[in-house]
Amino acid sequence: MAEPYFPPLEVAGQTFAFDHLEPFVLEMATQSRPNGVKIDVRFSNHCFSETFDAARHDDAVAVWDGPRRRVFCPIRYGLSQALPNILKGLPTAHVYQTPEANFLRIGVRNDGGAGDYRVFFRVKRGAGAGIDLKLFVESA
């Protein structure tokens, strides 16, 4: 059995699994490619973690992003449950390009909270193996 993309986390006696953030291939038809393009979709841990703040997170569960310490965020974790379906809806969604050269999809929060759910992602050319593009969700 393959290792999970993100291993489960134990937080205050509760186990949080990240099965919903496993990489997947999204197939999408375009005007120039009616048979579709294959997009390798992957997620960063920013989808379920936030920046470490020593004043607020003294006993929080650490999530490492390379050398940078982040902490598990239950709100982001809950919102991340909708990410696969949000991305599968990209062909008919309004997407904006940011000044940082990534893309933004604004959606409605699925937790009843105030504000938008913003999904930031980058798209790169695929590296062969039947994959046309790579989509990496940087933050949500």
Please state the pTM of the whole predicted model. 0.88
Range of the domain at 112: 38-139
pLDDT of residue 111: 66
Q: What is the mean pLDDT of residues 63-76?
A: 93
> Is 70 among the domain residues?
yes
Mean pLDDT of the chain: 89
Per the CB < 8 A criterion, the answer to whether 53 and 35 are in contact is no
> Is 8 among the domain residues?
no
Q: What is the DSSP string of 72-114?
A: E-HHHHHHHTTHHHHHHTGGGS--EE-TTS-EEEEEE-SSS-S
Q: What is the mean pLDDT of residues 41-64?
A: 91
pLDDT of residue 1: 64
pLDDT greater than 90 at residue 73: yes
CA–CA dist 102, 79 (Å, integer): 21
The percent of residues in the chain predicted with pLDDT above 90, rounded, is: 59
> Is 21 among the domain residues?
no
Q: Are strands 37-43 and 131-139 parallel, antiparallel or unpaired?
A: parallel
Task: State how many domains the chain has.
Answer: 1
